Amino acid sequence: MSTTASGDITKWAAKDGKFHRQVSSFRDFVEPSPDARFPAEAGRYHLYVSYACPWAHRTLIVRKLKGLESLIGVSVVHYLLGPNGWEFASPDEVPGATLDDINGAKYIRELYFKAEPNYSARFTVPVLWDKKQNTIVSNESSEIIRMFNTAFDELVAPEYRGITFYPDELKEKIDDINGWIYDTVNNGVYKAGFASAQSAYEENCRALFESLERIEGILSSNEFLLGTRLTEADLRLFTTILRFDPVYHGHFKCNLKQIATGYPNILRWMREVYQLPGIKETVNMEHIKKHYYMSHVQINPTQVVPLSNGPDLDSPIVKPAARPY
């Protein structure tokens, strides 16, 4: 999720009434080689996130599942996206949020200007920060989770080494399913929700539900998207589906169906992923709901936050058929 260096941050749609997501600006990589520009080292890198943001959420999940918590620190912004963008807050002010103990920034935007004084694009989370070079390594979530997947394997505890959510034998299939799910589901909810023209809304809302029907069909015969193995494709989809009923269905007008009542196989899959060890700890539904309903005042000017958190994900228990990763 992002804020912009100039202009009204509530104007998400372009003149054509469509929402066009910005391409991430920082695209470097942490690598296991000591000769790399950004070599993998314990304690060198820091992750800045919002619990509300589905793109940042995926990095928190992989950080957790790969045992990187002692190697890569994390700071969490306030759920409310204000005129100056993402702001840091103490946990006393906002439970779950943190101050920036690494750079002492008040806003995420300050990190961008520290890394690039002439930066003029959006101030997005997540941000992977290099404490040695005092710069941003990456603000692209899909690439950060790939780094977390393999770059630190020599540094993690033995039980996490070799765990991969992007296995060689499934890379082509993962890339393929990521492609259409990103366009029509992950980003599709935003293209529907931020549309300022009826035609743009209807086009993207219908494409979204066509893809949900496709996913429902896949999960009618598969435990996970690509079989019995949990991959990054599942993790990338999970952070969107988690937010669907409590946020996107109403707030973004993605209301042809709900996950809880319209997609039994997606619901079973969502519960199974949520109940895996460590996943629940990365979910903060208060931050999620308050962010969307209180930040997007052009959609919800009253800032009233609905009560429902979506379907109960703790029950019934859904146990994997075998160890999924």
Residues that are catalytic = 53
Rounded distance between C-alpha atoms, residue 288 and residue 306, angstroms:
12
**Residue 48 to residues 18, 124, 140, 304: CA-CA distances in angstroms?**
28, 10, 12, 27
Question: Cβ-count burial of 231 within 10 angstroms (0-12 exposed, 13-18 middle, 19+ buried)?
Answer: buried
Contact 309, 246 (CB under 8 A): yes
Amino acid identity at 126: P
Question: Cβ-count burial of 215 within 10 angstroms (0-12 exposed, 13-18 middle, 19+ buried)?
Answer: buried
Contact 131, 72 (CB under 8 A): no
Rounded distance between C-alpha atoms, residue 203 and residue 194, angstroms:
13
Rounded distance between C-alpha atoms, residue 38 and residue 248, angstroms:
37
